[in-house]
Every structure is written in C-alpha cells, then in structure tokens.
Structure 1
Amino acid sequence: MKALVYSDFGGNDRFEITEREKPHNGPDTLVVRVVAAGINPVDYKIREGYLRGVIDTRLPAIPGWDVAGVVEQTGLDTPEFAVGDAVLAYARADVVEHGSIAEFVPVPVRTAAHKPDGLSFEQAAALPLTGLTALQALERAGVHEGQTVLIHGAAGGVGSIGVQLAVRRGARVVGTASERNHDYLRELGAEPVRYGDGLADAARALAPEGFDVIVDFAGGASLDSTPALLADGGTVVSIADPRARTEFGGHYLWVRPDAAQLAELAQLAADGDLRVEIAATYPLDEAAAAYAALEEGHTRGKIVVTV
C-alpha cells in the first residue's frame, strides 16, 4: 500500500511517500480502507521527537490517528462492524507505527464509530481528535448552563468545536482569537477577544466577576492571564500547559479514544448541530505539504488528507 512515512526523527523533510505492507488485523482490530484522514499538531511533534518518553514510536512510522473510511477486514471479535461499513475513529495505538496517512490503517474497535449518512468522509476525518478533546475538556471542567467560560484558541480545530459544545450546554462563551477570526467566533456563538497585549483587560471587561471556567486549547502564554481572570472557585483545563494543574489546581488533559462519545459527536455534525470546519484538503501524494501548512500555525479548522 502507499503511505506517508518517516524513518528518522526531525523536520518535514523526513517525510516520503513509499510502499508499505498492508496492515494485519488483530482479534479486536479492523483494517480500514482510508478515504480521508485528519492531521493534527501532535503528529509532527511526535515526528520531531518532542514526545519521546510520552509516546513510543517504532520507525519507520506512518503518522496520523484520525481516520474516516470503509471496513476492509474485521477481526475475530468485532461484532459491532461488518465489511463495507463506513466508520470514523480516533485510532490511537500505544505505539506510533501504522498511522492513518496511508491507503489502509489498523483501527482498534474500541476507537471506532459508525459514520452517519449525513456526514462526509472529510468531515468525519476532521472530527475525532478535535471533537473528543473539546468534549472531554468541557466534561472535565464540568461546564454547565449559566456559567461564563473563556476558551483560548477558540478559532482552531479543537477550540471551534469547544465553543459550540459549550454554547450547547447553555454557557456564555468568550473566545480568544486573532481579529480576522472574530466574525467566525460570533457565528459559532462566542464573544471574541483579541490575543496579545490587553487581553486580560478586554476579557475582564466582558466578565467583571471573572470566568467560572478557563479552557486552554492554545498553550504558550495563554494561561499567563489566569490569575486576573479566574473567578473564585473557578476551574482551569489545558491540553497544552501543565500549569493548569500545578499552579491553578485544575486539569491537564490528554484526550482518550471513546467510541460512544465519537458517535455522539458524529451524529451532532450529521444533523447540522455541530459545524466541522475544513481548512483545506490535500491528496495523499501531497501529504507532506499538508503538514507543512499545518506547521505554519495559521489554519482555521482542520486540514484533511484524502486517499
């Protein structure tokens, strides 16, 4: 099969399109023919070697955990699925080796959900990691009706889903983003504030009593303003900054595969109740260019590789 592969840790130039053996399926694993695959910053951080000690990688490796496709082969004990079923998955394995930027990918059945008819393969591929991250962050924080929530990185792939889910829960949402994305955030139901100097004052003007929940999907200096913005008894969650837990007594979250949650998110998107923003699509032969675009850090929504 054709796949995007890297054989050494390092930059984007490590990628090459090459032929690999089609994956085998275990007793509780599907082999899925990939139609579309979502790419995420964690993929290139692993490739660059930044997560050694956190995630094991067996080289040469194929990147990618997000996939939408068709079941090619079932396992000995995968009664939930049949050959020909359309599925989506956050197909994270314990070792990075057989990723989704390929013609076929092994998918642990515990990570997979049936793709609803109303959801395109591209949308389905864009949803798993971002959707599950957003949902699990809000659940960890206990976001509920009547709260005021600040979301850092609100226009990104994870943040835009988080905004919508928080609004659905009845929260008032303020989101940080560059000015060019402020109208987009308003469309999603958030009140935008600009990154950079003056953020704390601008956010505090919108919520003089402080924020019940601060959710960090951006990292960097995002949590620097937390002491000025968090309400008494408030909660902080971050997917990028351990200070959320160590300094602010909140939560530092690493997303987990969850088939039931993924099915819930997919149905919301299929019903038109959750907007999945596609920034761009690239064919498999141009997957390295897709990662180069992602690494620039200015995309709104998700970049998807089509196979």
Structure 2
Amino acid sequence: MKSTILAAHQYGQPEVLEFAQYELPPLAAGMARIQVKASGINPIDARRMTGEFKHAALPQTFGTEYAGIIAEVDGSQNEWTVGDEVLGSGGAFTHATVIDVPLANLIRKPKNIDWPIAGTIAGAAQTAMTILDETGPAQSLLVHGGSGGVGSIVVQLAVEKGIEVVATASAANQDYIRKLGAIAVTYGEGLVERLKAVHPTPFDVSIDMIGSEEATQTSLAVVKVGGFMGSIAGRKLSSNKIQPVWVKRNTKNLQHVVDGIADGRFTWTVSREYAFKDAQQAYSDILEGHTKGKSVLVFE
C-alpha cells in the first residue's frame, strides 16, 4: 500500500514542504495501518520545519496525532478490526494519507465527534494531562497562552479539578478564555500588574505555552517561592527555573478527555481546517500564531 507523506529535505519556510509517495512495508506486529481522515497541526510541527527545534535528521516528516479508519491490523489480536474508526498518537508521523501506528496508542472515535475534532485531540490532550500530573497539587494556576490547543484543555482540566485558573490571551480571545472557565488577561506591557490585580496572591503554578521572555519574567514575578513553573514550548529560556514539560503518552488520560468532549463537559475548538494539499498554507498560518483552539489537515 502506498502513502502520500508530507516531508521536508531542508529547513526553512513552508515552501520546503513537499509531498512524497512512499511504499509502506509489511505491517509489523503490534501495529495498525490507518487511512487518515484528519490530523492536527501543532506549533512544534512548524518550528521543526524551520529548524528552530531540531528533533530528527533530514529529511523529516511531521505530525503526532490523527483520526482515521483501520485499513489493516495485526491479526494476532482480537480487539481491533478493519473498518474501526479510531484516533490517537502516531508512530513516526501523521501528516500522511496512510500511517502505521502502535495498537497501544489507539482510542475508539466516538460517533458524535467529527473527524476534524477527533484528529486534533491526542497530542494536546495528553500534553495537558501530563502538565497537571507533573505540577502536583495546586490551588491556583497561571496559563500563558490559554487560547491555543493545549492551553484550552489545560484550563478546562484544571477548572474540573477545582483549581483557580488565570489565562493570558490576545484581546480577541478574552471571551473564549472566560467561556473555558478561567479569568482572562491580555498579554503585553503591564501584564504583571494586570495579573496581580485579578489574583493578588502568588500563584502555585505557571505553565507557558509560548516560550516568550514575557512569559518567563512574568512567571518569576508572580509564582510563589517553591512553586512549579513549566513550559511546553521546547525553547531555550532565559531562566532555568522554568522547567521543560514533555508529553507522556497515556491512553487512560486521553480517554478521559475524549469522553469529556463526547459528553459535552469539555469544549474543543477547531478554528482552521485545511485540505491536505494546502499543507503549506496551514504551516504558514501556524507560524503566525494567535490560534484559537486547534488547526487540522483533512483528507479526502
């Protein structure tokens, strides 16, 4: 079976992206072959493309999450069958028409979740759950960049736990942040003063989705001594007090978020949909930032 894969043979802007035809090898044990219907695009994908974040040798492929239909499956098991609709984390890449993924990463796609939403859940959900697992007990949380994919679900998961959440976002996304259950604050000059006005006591925890110097300095100013300060941005920051947080795949955590979206407890927003053929435009828009919720590639 052939797959069309999004790849880049050099670092650069979206014009370095190209579509490559690839003959898939025989399906390995413990794997499922997926006809991809939708796959989320995350800022880290675009930053890998530019070379800001160098994760693998060239040529590189992209994508960490997907939703699709099982086209072939390891016949030694009886849990999954051809035709099952699934979502999850990928193996080597997910921005492709057909992918091979570990059976251990699969979650059944609920019937009431459409493909674009299903294809964007796994990466952000598991990152968000990792954040809350690693920060430990907290009464208050500051989220830098609360309107993006990970930020949106971190806010809701924290509110579910009874944590008071303050989240920064652009002026255009303030109402969205409030809808998610957080106190909304615009980032930019005077941020520390605005945060202290709505939350006078030091925060227990801060988490930075952006990797900006403003987020770093603000966390240092408003988080309590001994509090947890983390970042998922994957950027070198000016203070080693901000700890990097890397996603840990956990299907139990993923299932919790999927169930919450399916039953309406969690809001999940996909604000930008792109046909796979328009991947260059999708990556260009991701580089510009200011995303509300998630962006997704959709496949015919």
Name the aligned partner's letter for residue 233 of structure 1. G
Runs of 4+ with deviation above 3 angstroms? 76-80, 241-245
Shift in Å, 1:245: 8.2
* Counterpart Cα distance in 2 of 1:297 and 1:23: 37
Listed as ranges, the gaps of 5+ residues in structure 1 are: 94-98
TM-score, normalised by the number of residues in structure 2: 0.91
How do 1:62-211 residues align onto structure 2 when only pairs under 5 Å count? 62-93=61-92, 99-144=93-138, 147-211=139-203
The alpha-carbon deviation at position 68 of structure 1 amounts to 0.2
Tell me, what secondary structure is at the counterpart of 1:281? strand
CA RMSD after TM alignment = 2.0
Q: State the alpha-carbon separation in 2 of the partners of residues 42 and 197 from structure 1.
A: 26
The one-letter amino acid of 2:183's match is E
Equivalences for residues 181-260 of structure 1 within 5 A:
181-221=173-213, 222-240=215-233, 246-247=240-241, 251-260=243-252
TM-score (norm 1): 0.89
- Cα separation, partners in 2 of 1:106 and 1:165, compared to 1, 3 Å: same
Contact 1:140 1:237 in 2 (8 A): no
CA drift at 1:165? 0.7
- 1:245/1:136 Cα in 2 relative to 1: closer, same or farther (>3 Å)? farther
Q: 1:78-137 CA deviation, whole Å, 9 max, x = no partner?
A: 5432211111111144xxxxx222210111222221112221111111111111111110
Q: Percent of aligned positions with the same letter in both sequences? A: 33
Unaligned runs of 5+ in 2: none
Is contact 2:155–2:182 with CA below 8 Å preserved after alignment?
yes
Q: Determine the C-alpha separation between the residues in 1 that align with 2:124 and 2:219.
A: 23
List per-residue Cα deviations over 1:192-212 (Å, max 9, x = no partner): 111111111111122212111
CA distance, structure 2, for counterparts of residue 90 and residue 44 of structure 1:
18
Which sits farther off after the overlay, 238-247 or 63-72? 238-247
Quick check: 1:92–1:257 contact (8 Å CA) kept in 2? no
Q: What SS does the corresponding residue of 1:119 show, helix, strand or coil? A: coil
Give, in angstroms, the shift of residue 246 of structure 1: 2.6
Distance 1:277 1:303 in 2: 9
Amino acid of the residue matched to residue 178 of structure 1? S
Q: Is the 8 A contact 2:10 2:58 kept in 1?
A: no
Distance 1:77 1:210 in 2: 54
* Match of residue 57 from structure 2: 57
In the alignment, residue 15 of structure 2 is paired with which amino acid?
Answer: D
3-state SS of the aligned residue for 1:231?
strand
Aligned to 1:96: none
Aligned counterparts of 1:76 and 1:166: Cα–Cα separation in 2:
40
CA contact (8 A) 2:269 2:294 kept: yes
Match of 2:32 in 1: 30
**Do the aligned partners of residues 188 and 305 (structure 1) sit closer, same or farther apart at CA in structure 2, a change above 3 Å counting?**
same
- 1:57 alignment partner, SS class: coil
CA distance in 2, matches of 1:190, 1:264: 20
Per-residue CA deviation, residues 217-241 of structure 1 (Å, 9 max, x unaligned), is 1211212112320124322121125
